Amino acid sequence: MDYFAYRQGHLYCEAVAVEDIVREAGTPTYIYSRATLTEHYRRIAAAFAAVNPLICYSVKSCGNLALLRVLRELGSGFDVVSGGELFRVLQAGGEPGKIVFAGVGKTDQEINQALAADIGWFNIESEEEFWNLERLAAAQGRTVRGALRINPDISSRGTHRKTLTGKKETKFGVDIERAAELFEQARGASHARLTGLHLHIGSPILSPQPYVEAIGKALALIEKVRGGGVLVDTLDIGGGFAAFYEGHEAPRAVDYAAAIVPLLQERSLRIILEPGRSISCNAGILLTRVQYTKRGGRRKFVIVDAAMNDLIRPTLYESYHFIWPANPGPAREPANRLSTLRISGDEQVDVVGPICESGDYLARDRWLPAVKRGDLVAVFSAGAYGFTMSSQYNARPRAAEVLVEGGQWRVIRRRETYQDLIAGEV
């Protein structure tokens, strides 16, 4: 569900034709829909209402301040994984008490920064980290809450190996077998209180089942630890809910909730969720312009002005992003993202960027209506891990970001300039 739709052959974001935006803002540009962002947040909140969760939006998926402000106004907390993300959230006016901080390698400087900000929870990824937090909290004379990230040793079908995190022998969390002992030892700490359990099994998790398994293991552990007299009052089940890339293939918030909520009710636990992609992915597209088309052997290439530095997911994970011309004419509007009927004159193409690597593509072997130099092309489902993973590779200034609100739009991050490329160099 999103607010990007074709009308009379032109792509709109909410009530604005995207061609009107890029006439001023240029290409490549990320365009976000506020209504979509809001709706996805609300759907998760409504689906899980029975356990009254704290939703901590995962900043890494899309961290522009304007989007963080929208979510903050809806009541969202935030999941951060670096001092930089914490800085962003505070700049956007995020409530410190609703921030969770995860990550296997938090530096002393980042921990001190988070202590000073008085964040809600530190998600602890190792024993050594816990005792370091205790030491630094004591030095600042503060008492803090920690949630131990366990590795539940769960795999999930269809999750890329580079984004699967809940399997043994990934670097995340502590083995579930050692967790009870760690809770026991943590009772000896005076400033860091280990009162929560955290897990995040991967991203995206394409069915509710792996959550059911992982939460089952977590609840058994909580019971065991509580049996030993240790207080555990918080369970953070992480992120990983899927989004729509190829059609309407992913479970919805209500589908995940139907399986998960019954497990969590009446457990006397504060429940935290860390959704990123399921909120931001379908709230953004990347708009790019065709520079040239050409043939190479039997392949046809559509060369656009967005590249792997703007959107690295196809290159890095072989991810599929639906791509379609922004102004295909009324006859060629895609019915939905699965049934793009092929008609005569359509062409099978590789959509590629200008970067000097053959891995620089946005799509391969894709059937599209014929496009020509100057046409606009939209890359869908680009709101999550799009701009945040972008770089300046090949000395390409980063794209602009635009937020649409009904019939209005505004630039929320200006396109970088050549001066930005060299700004930090001394």
Query: Looking at 207-215, 233-241, 325-333, 405-413, which segment touches ligand LLP (CB under 6 A)?
Result: 233-241
List the one residue from 275, 325, 328, 353 that touches ligand LLP (CB under 6 A): 275
Q: Which two tokens stand for residue 114?
A: 């988070």
Return the residues of window 313-332 that contact ligand LLP according to CB under 6 A.
313, 317
Rg (CA), the chain: 23
Amino acid identity, position 31:
I
Among 2, 79, 85, 129, which residue sits at the site for ligand LLP (rule: CB under 6 A)?
Answer: 79
With respect to ligand LLP, which residue has the nearer C-beta, 87 or 317?
317
Q: Which is nearer to ligand LLP, 34 or 200 (CB)?
A: 200
**78 interacts with ligand LLP by CB under 6 A:** no
Question: Which among 276-284, 294-302, 333-341, 417-425 is the span making contact with ligand LLP, rule CB under 6 A?
Answer: 276-284
Mask for 27-66, x = binds ligand LLP (CB under 6 A):
-------------------------------x--x-----
Distance of CA 239 to the CA centre of its chain: 9
196 binds ligand LLP, rule: CB under 6 A: no
CA–CA distance, 215 with 209 (Å, rounded to integer) = 10
Q: How far apart are CA 306 and CA 230, in angstroms?
A: 53
Widest Cα–Cα separation across the chain: 73
Distance CA 292, CA 107 (A): 46
Query: Which residue type does 364 have?
Result: R
Quick check: 385 binds ligand LLP (CB under 6 A)? yes
Judge whether 289 and 373 are in contact, CB under 8 Å: no
User: How many chain residues are in contact with ligand LLP, going by CB under 6 A?
Assistant: 21
> Beta 299-304 vs 347-352: how paired, if at all?
parallel
Closest approach of ligand LLP to the CB of residue 387, in Å: 12
Contacts of 217 (CB under 8 A, 6+ apart): 150, 152, 154, 176
- Is 356 part of the annotated catalytic residue set? yes
Choose which of 2, 125, 153, 274 interacts with ligand LLP (CB under 6 A): 274
Question: Can you tell me the distance from the alpha carbon of 279 to that of 339, in angstroms, rounded to the nearest whole number?
Answer: 24
Residues that bind ligand LLP (CB under 6 A): 58, 61, 79, 102, 163, 200, 203-204, 238-241, 274-278, 313, 317, 384-385
Q: Which residues are catalytic?
A: 356
